[in-house]
Amino acid sequence: MSRNNEITVRVDHVTKSFGDFTAVRDLSLDVRAGRVFGLLGPNGAGKSTTIRMIVNITVPDTGSIKLFGTKIDSQLQDRIGYLPEERGLYKSMKVVDQLRFFAQLKNVKGKEADRRIDSWLERLRVSDWKQRKTRELSKGMQQKIQFISAVLHEPDLVILDEPFSGLDPVNVELLKDVVLELKRGGRTIIFSTHLMDIAEKICDDICLLNRAQKVLEGSIREVKSSFGRNAIALRLEGANGNLETSPLISKIEHHSDEMEVLLAPEVDPQVFLKELISSGAAVTKFEMIEPSLNDIFIAKVSET
């Protein structure tokens, strides 16, 4: 995409405290246009506070935030779609009335609003619930309705705070597809999550927060290669007796029918393979693997 170097959100040396507690400390990050940006981190790392500052619900103590190159104002708010972590809908309103209301608040009116509402309800498979009151909906369905309210006005920037929490696997897949669709439509997406496997599948760039600070950032590629560990997926038939004591290995993780082996630093995988074969083991699988985002997450979080 040609706009890839355009910056949609720039967070510049931002600090935010609540009383004695510092929620975000000296955070800087850039979100590039047309990309999916994952804000990752354990609970309480400062993800939601960062997001609230980006959507102008709270204001940084120091530092600045710019959206689309300018300071946020009410005009810019219409170009943002926001799904907060704490869900809230008007319980006694009908789904369709509720969505119309949210559309109006973003200056989308009349037939155009109705057309978009219908198509989104269809897309997220909740059309049957259009005329029902919100309190009759399950939690997952309410979440979908709220997601629709965040994207109805076709915002350039979509900000989703923990969008997948509380959804069943089918709906996680559905929502994941929708997010990728939005990306293909040229929208910039920021989302926070602590579900690393999903982040790994849909993020272009990530920023890992821990205890109010940034501990890692970059594209998924960069992050993984910079983290480059010597990990090998291994399946052996027969003898593997001396693996546990081998000086070449720093860690073994056993899965159902194979294992993940982490080599000791500076060990050449080829040397390890030779060693295996000479020890008489029948190697049926030997695959160099990248560290998963989950591994990186755990390593980084426990490190700081």
Partner 1 sequence: MTKLLAIIKREYLQRVRARMFIVTTIGLPIAMALFGLAPALVMSIEAGTPLRILVLDETGKLFGRLQGAVRVEEVEEPKDEFGAQQRKDALEKARQQNFILEEVPLAGRSEAEINTELDRRLKAKEIDAYLILPADLMQNGKALFYRRNTSDLFSTRKIQGALDGAIREQRLSDAHVDAATLKELARPSQFETMRISSAGNERDSGWGFVLMFFGGFVMYISVLLYGQVVLGAVIEEKETRIAEVLFSSVKPFTLLMGKLLGVSLVALTQLTIWGLAVAGFGVYGINLLASRGIPLVVPKVPLLFYVYFVLFFLVGYFVYATLYALIGSIVTTSQEGGQLAMPIIVLLVISFYLFLPVSKNPDSTLAFWLSIIPFFAPISMLVRIITQTPPLWQIVLSLVIGVSTATLLTWVSARIYRIGMLMHGKRPTIPELIRWVRQN
Residues that bind partner 1 (CB under 8 A): 52, 55-59, 74, 77-78, 80, 82-84, 86-93, 97, 101-102, 104-107, 109, 146, 149-150
Least distance from partner 1 to the Cβ atom of residue 116, Å? 16
Least distance from partner 1 to the Cβ atom of residue 21, Å? 12
Least distance from partner 1 to the Cβ atom of residue 9, Å? 14
Tokens representing residue 111 in the block:
């037939």
Least distance from partner 1 to the Cβ atom of residue 57, Å? 5
Q: Which is nearer to partner 1, 58 or 127 (CB)?
A: 58
Please state the separation of Cα 263 from the chain's center in Å: 29
Q: Which is nearer to partner 1, 102 or 129 (CB)?
A: 102
Residue that the structure tokens 């496997």 belong to = 197
Q: Which is nearer to partner 1, 57 or 277 (CB)?
A: 57
Least distance from partner 1 to the Cβ atom of residue 59, Å? 6
Query: What is the phi-psi region of residue 242: left when phi exceeds 0, alpha when psi lies from -120 to 50, beta otherwise?
Result: alpha
Q: Which is nearer to partner 1, 5 or 75 (CB)?
A: 75
Q: Which is nearer to partner 1, 86 or 244 (CB)?
A: 86
Closest CA to 79 of 6, 183, 154: 154
**Quick check: 146 and 87 in contact, CB under 8 A?**
yes
DSSP percent split of the chain into helix, strand, coil, nearest 5: 35, 30, 35
Q: Which residues contact 89 (CB under 8 A, 6 or more apart)?
A: 98, 134, 142, 145, 146
Q: Which residues contact 20 (CB under 8 A, 6 or more apart)?
A: none
Question: How many whole angstroms separate alpha carbon 147 and alpha carbon 144?
Answer: 5
Tokens representing residue 61 in the block:
């103590």
Q: Which is nearer to partner 1, 43 or 92 (CB)?
A: 92
Residue that the structure tokens 């057309």 belong to = 115
Q: Which is nearer to partner 1, 30 or 97 (CB)?
A: 97
Least distance from partner 1 to the Cβ atom of residue 191, Å? 15
- How far does the chain reach from its first CA to its final CA, in angstroms? 35
DSSP code string of 55-73: TTSS--SEEEEEETTB---
Q: Which is nearer to partner 1, 139 or 254 (CB)?
A: 139
Residue 89 has, within 13 A of its CA and on its CB side, a CA count of 30
Least distance from partner 1 to the Cβ atom of residue 155, Å? 10
Least distance from partner 1 to the Cβ atom of residue 60, Å? 11
Widest Cα–Cα separation across the chain: 75
Closest CA to 228 of 262, 198, 255: 262
